[in-house]
Structure 1
Amino acid sequence: MRLHVADHPLITHKLTVLRDKRTPSPVFRQLTEELVTLLAYEATRNVRVASVEIDTPVTHTTGVKIDDPRPLVVPILRAGLGMLEGMVTLLPSAEVGFLGMARNEETLQPMTYAERLPEDLSDRQCFVLDPMLATGGSLGAAIEFLFTRGAQDVTAICLLGTPEGISVIEKQSAGRDVTLVLGALDEGLNDKAYIVPGLGDAGDRLYGTV
């Protein structure tokens, strides 16, 4: 597993505003979108491309284009939806699938309640969007789901992560092509499995409490 933790003052600044409990939902959503676009720049560094011949106003040259099959962006519902716009802004040619996963607050185990993905992901590069890598259960289950469908490699983009969550993903992804891109690595989890210092429940702060 490859791990990249962003180290950029703009990312740190935006995360600081996200963490502030006084930040209202509209600002939270806007900053999340901006953050994901910045993180997606690093996450797509190894996206597959193919050579293409073009004519500029001056001469003939060779460039590159995003190769087929197109990358697949998979937000984990519901909080991952808040990251989708920022991702497709940078990668508009990507296809989008959806995976609904939730954590059982008693067992802390992930549950899959919905999915809208191609049946065959063979040879596909997949980008999973999940704001919080806490215990690693939900994200790990999502990554496993994609590989079961035949995905070639999976990159997960998270605003925040923990050492505990990273350890889970690293063990699970042994022998597989997995990249983890984080906006920041936080201290760890509290007794309720929330990230500390964290930013609270990302879904609630994006959309309000259900």
Structure 2
Amino acid sequence: MADPQPATSIDICNITSIDTRFAAMEDRLKYYEDMHDRFTSPIMRFLDTLSTQMMNVQRDIAKLNDQHDFQEEGSTSIDSGLDSQAEWLQKEVKAIQRQLASQHKISASIDRAHSKSIDITTPATIDRHLVASIDTTSTPDDEQLIQNKMESMQEQLNELSAYAYIKIGWHQSSIEDIQERLHNISNAIQKMDE
């Protein structure tokens, strides 16, 4: 026998579950985290390369010190100055790595149409070598070669540092843009829930 009373609107209404919305938000968060990982991995690779280059410079300085017995008192001050510069640069790299690691929850740029190329500028060549002449009359003395090598290494460190700061500045502005977009998304979701 047929039901004499038709179903009320409450009985046939489909209510979206909070769990469904929560699952969708979790999916979006996972997507943003994946985008962030793709965004930060080139930076981390660059910082690893920069750190390796700085360690190579320190190793070269140590080799130069081992190969030459300095007679002058002033030469040790050059070494300590370069050592402190290299230590400072290593601390800077570690600070940058910590900052990037702490911002791991920030997602990468969603709109790639507006992204700029990361490789706009590249540091000058890193592989500069001093070549002494075979003619011993025109060969600079050991101290001059060491001084030239240290100046060359200092230039390389400065170029790498400047390059890193340019790239970090670009990524920082991109991260700020992403934070603003995430905030707008969060506000839109809250308004939808109301």
TM over 0.5: no
Q: Which has the higher helix share?
A: 2
Bigger relative contact order (CA 8 A; separation at least 6):
2
State the structure with more CA Rg.
Answer: 2
For Structure 1 versus Structure 2, the TM-score category normalised by the shorter chain is under 0.3
The TM-score with structure 2 as length reference comes to 0.25
Q: Which has the higher strand share?
A: 1
